Amino acid sequence: MIIIAIGSNLSKQGTSCLDICLKALSMLNENGVSIKQISNWYRTEPVPVSEQPWFYNAVAEVETDLFPRDLLAVLHKVEAELGRVRNITNEARPIDLDLIDYNGVVCEGDLNLPHPRMHDRAFVLLPIKDIALNWSHPISNKNVLELIKTIPPEQKIMTLSDYSDRFASK
């Protein structure tokens, strides 16, 4: 299973954060990345906690013939086209696309898989639970439900209306 995380906490030129996320999903479809299913949408407090706006977050299961590094390059390309500039770590951003898991591949270096902090993030784990209740972390082998129990309690998250069928393959 290939999982990407989608997030935004900075609207841009009158376009809402949620619309930017939805545009990113459309752009992925146009770049050889098929959206198989998408989780519910969540509103989440920034991690680490800061004064910046809350995020809109979801995860998507995708299908692609791209290798992991090539997929990451497409994610970065879409981010750049939607106005993401990487200046400061954890700054507010119009779009954030992260490669969370690529069919259980484990690697470190210029590409870290699975995503190195995903197991500590409510905004990743709760959406994964929506689409893959039996998913397990490729390194710890802990099921998503086990990982959710270890999320730091200070992380604030709430579910939004379900947009999950908007991009799912039929």
| Tens digits of residue pLDDT in 25-38 | 999 999 999 999 99
Domain extents in the chain: 2-163
- Name the pLDDT band for 85 (thresholds 50, 70, 90): confident
Q: Which residue has the higher pLDDT, 102 or 163?
A: 102
Going by their DSSP bridges, the two strands 42-44 and 96-102 should be labelled as unpaired
Q: Which residue has the higher pLDDT, 156 or 148?
A: 148
Cβ-based neighbour number of residue 59 at 10 Å: 30
Is 50 exceeded by the pLDDT of residue 170? no
Domain spanning 2-163, CATH class: alpha beta
Is there a contact between 105 and 113 (Cβ–Cβ < 8 Å)? Answer: yes
Is 70 exceeded by the pLDDT of residue 161? no
Is there a contact between 1 and 132 (Cβ–Cβ < 8 Å)? Answer: yes
DSSP letters of 41-58? -EEE--SS--SSPPEEEE
